[in-house]
Structure 1
Amino acid sequence: MAFTNILFALFILQLVLISLSSSIQAVSAAKSNLIFREYIGSQFKNVKFSDVPIPSNIEFHFILSFAIDYTASLSSPSPTNGKFNIFWDTNNLNPDEISAIKAMYPNVRVALSLGGAVVEGQDVYFQASSINSWISNAVSSLTNIIKQYNLDGIDIDYEQFQADPDTFAQCIGGLVSTLKQNGLISFASIAPFDNADVQSHYQALWKSHGELIDYVNFQFYAYDKGTTVSQFIDHFTEQTENYNGGKILASFISDGSGGLSPENGFFTACARLKSRGQLGGIFVWTADDSKELGFEYEKQALALLAIPH
């Protein structure tokens, strides 16, 4: 009798384990394969990581804005040939805060963005005295920042250039390749927009080093403010062709100043792209402005991304 009871107990345990395994697989299957990314810190509006709504079932990237290869002097910052300094809100977005948000949310990754448009009212340009010297300086300076802040990736957001497309491609490609080979970053992204000079530089980078770029944060909000849903989808299709094989993310700007806004059909467009299997995810510029809106649109974006295909 005792032996029979043991066999019965083992049988029941086996059923429980099978049921538990099925439940785990179901939870795993429900996890979205899309990504959400948000730029943060460039406008010094005291926004914190913990202010932003973060779900548990979506890979979530914060992108610190910006690290710039300019002198740190805010009175007259000038190019430094690849020697990067921090120009984001370090009072609120510092190493301790990064460690805390990662401990709270295992699905959170933090990257830094390189470049940007302006610093202290001055235009930011990509410049390089030589390819080798720029890469050497960039690897050295960014290695220090990445280690200090426990970062996971980099984003390339240069928007103005005083170097030809091939030099840009070789410098950025060499930087990303070295940082990945050294185990310092696990992903890299680019943030182009529809401008002839900008596209020529990023297309050169994509052609020579596209295999190193994990995400394309295309700035769809740089299109006209009156963009319609159908125009947005056309733009998305065009950029999917330009960055063939890339993971293209849709985007909106929090203040509604350009492109297709959340109020006028952005989520409708994203839902259509998602239903076709074309949407890689969504990113937002920027948490600094979204804080004033209570992150209303981020919540809608996250809800859309969380729905399984």
Structure 2
Amino acid sequence: MELLKLLITLFILQAFVPSTTLIQAAPTNSNLFREYIGAMFKSVRFTDVPINPDVELHFILSFAIDYDTSSSPSPTNGKFNIFWDSANLSPSEVSSIKRRHSNVKVALSLGGDTVASRFAYFSPSSVDSWVSNAVSSLTRIIKEYNLDGIDIDYEHFHGDPHTFSECIGRLISTLKRNKVISFASIAPYDDEQVQKRYLALWKSYGHLIDYVNFQFYAYDKGTTVSQFMNYFMTQTSNYNGGKVLVSFLSDGSRGLSPDDGFFTACSRLKSQKKLHGIFIWCADDSKANGFLYEKQSQALLANPH
């Protein structure tokens, strides 16, 4: 009789909780700090950035782009090349910073805004060929640099949302299945065409995406704390079940800046157990002010209260 009751209970649970459903996790804070690095070629190094031992810190190399530099950039359909400051952010530098700090991981970001002063388009010839090329080229780069994860930051598109979802979803799935990466993130912002694609990806493959690096700094300069909180709630609803990280620009040119209330908003989210982490664009620009905001962000995240 007890066995029969157990079987009935398991049947009911299986019926009402499909395996593909994203379940909203209980509210919780995180000590995760992430920073994009290398896109601006300002000779910034990992060792320049302050590292608080009480946070989990991800450097995100920016960018790997599937464009060919042999002439005027042309799409190469998933064949990625390195476009970050590899002279200062080399494989040996990655190994060194990870060896010196056990709380540091390093990822690479795909896409970005521009390459050689032109928009960096997501422009696959076909899903199958793009995924095959991307898996091959990125596996080579990730292993060469001893990286831990990838970030998806495409901002310009040729092709429909379904194609984007299938290409990126299958890429993440394959890299994880092959144990090439241990985490993946996406970096959308509040633009109709951008959101259509990332939300399609989230709907089909959200269970494989560990973090949502939402670009809150893409909102207008002069954003208030109240507006920021509303934006956060909206995107948390859009990416339901995801760990939506808050963000700002080092140079304060857009969004809610650190000097105008960003850390106030973070404290409010922390009190609500909704602060899943902070990320900054970018270390290259932060170098000018001595990484002041990196220190503040990490101190806030490391504080248990």
The two structures share one fold, judged by TM-score above 0.5: yes
Q: Distance in 2 between matches of 1:292 and 1:78?
A: 34
- SS of 2:122's partner is coil
CA contact (8 A) 1:190 1:217 kept: yes
Q: Distance in 2 between matches of 1:106 and 1:305?
A: 17
- Cα distance in 1 for partners of 2:287, 2:110 equals 23
CA apart distance, 1:287: 0.2
Answer whether contact 1:111 1:152 (CA < 8 A) is retained. yes
Q: Output the CA distance in 2 between the equivalents of 1:77 and 1:111.
A: 24
Shift of 1:264: 0.2
Please list every run of at least 4 consecutive aligned residues from structure 1 whose deviation after the TM superposition is greater than 3 angstroms: none
**One-letter amino acid of the structure 2 residue matched with residue 85 of structure 1:** N
Aligned-pair CA distance for 1:33: 3.5
Looking at structure 2, the residues matched to 91 and 209 of structure 1 have their Cα atoms a distance apart, in angstroms, of 35
SS at 2:156 equivalent: coil
The structure, 1 or 2, with the larger RCO (C-alpha pairs under 8 Å, 6+ apart) is 2
1:72 aligns with 2:69: yes
- What secondary structure is seen at the aligned counterpart in 2 of 1:299? helix
* Equivalent residue, structure 1, for 2:48: 51
- 2:179 maps to 183
Match of 1:59, as an amino acid?
E
Aligned equivalents of 1:148, 1:119: Cα separation in 2: 23
1:178-236 residue CA offsets vs partner (Å, 9 max, x unmatched): 00000000000000000000000000000000000000000000000010000000000
Aligned to 2:279: 283
C-alpha displacement of 1:57: 1.3
1:171 and 2:200 are equivalent in the alignment: no
| Residue identity opposite 1:88 in structure 2 | W
Please state how far the C-alpha of 1:72 moved relative to its aligned partner: 3.0
Q: Do 1:82 and 1:138's aligned partners in 2 also have CA atoms closer than 8 Å? A: yes
CA–CA separation in structure 2 for the residues paired with 1:277 and 1:238? 17
1:237 match: secondary structure:
helix
Distance 2:84 2:185 in 1: 19
TM-score (norm 2): 0.90
Residue matched to 1:232:
228
User: In 1, distance between residues paired with 2:173 and 2:103?
Assistant: 24
Given that 1:233 and 1:269 are in contact with CA atoms closer than 8 Å, whether structure 2 keeps it comes out as yes
Q: Percent identical across equivalent pairs?
A: 69
Which of 29, 32, 35 is equivalent to 2:32? Answer: 35
Give the whole-Å Cα distance in 1 for the aligned partners of 2:284 and 2:50.
13
1:148 is matched with which residue: 113, 131, 144?
A: 144
Question: Residue 199 of structure 2 aligns with which residue?
Answer: 203
Q: Is this contact kept in 2: 1:71–1:85, CA < 8 A?
A: yes
Taking structure 1 as the reference length, the TM-score comes to: 0.89
Please state whether the residue corresponding to 1:249 is helix, strand or coil.
strand
> 1:60 is matched with which residue?
57
Note if contact 1:70-1:78 (Cα within 8 Å) is conserved in structure 2: yes
State the partner residue of 2:22.
Answer: none
Give matches, 1:1-309, under 5 Å: 33-73=30-70, 76-309=72-305
Describe the SS at the equivalent of 1:279. Answer: coil
Question: What is the rounded CA distance, in whole Å, between the counterparts of 1:274 and 1:72 in structure 2?
Answer: 44
Task: Please state how far the C-alpha of 1:162 moved relative to its aligned partner.
Answer: 0.3
Q: Is the 8 A contact 1:72 1:86 kept in 2?
A: no
List gaps (5 residues or longer) in structure 1: 1-31
> Unmatched 5+ residue regions in structure 2?
1-28
Secondary structure of the equivalent of 1:207?
helix
Q: How many angstroms apart in 2 are the aligned matches of 1:82 and 1:120?
A: 18
Say which one has the larger Rg: 1
Q: Secondary structure at the match of 1:224?
A: coil
Contact 2:30 2:275 in 1 (8 A): no
The range that moved more, 32-41 or 207-216, is 32-41
Look up the equivalent residue of 2:301 and give its one-letter code.
L
CA RMSD of aligned residues (A): 0.8
Match of 1:15 in 2: none
Describe the superposition over 1:143-167 as per-residue Cα deviations: whole angstroms up to 9, x where unpaired: 0000000000000000010010000
Superposed CA deviations along residues 52-73 of structure 1, whole A, max 9, x for unmatched, are 0001111100000000000033
Q: Give the count of matched residue pairs.
A: 277
- Shift of residue 34 of structure 1? 2.2
User: Aligned-pair distance for 1:97?
Assistant: 0.3
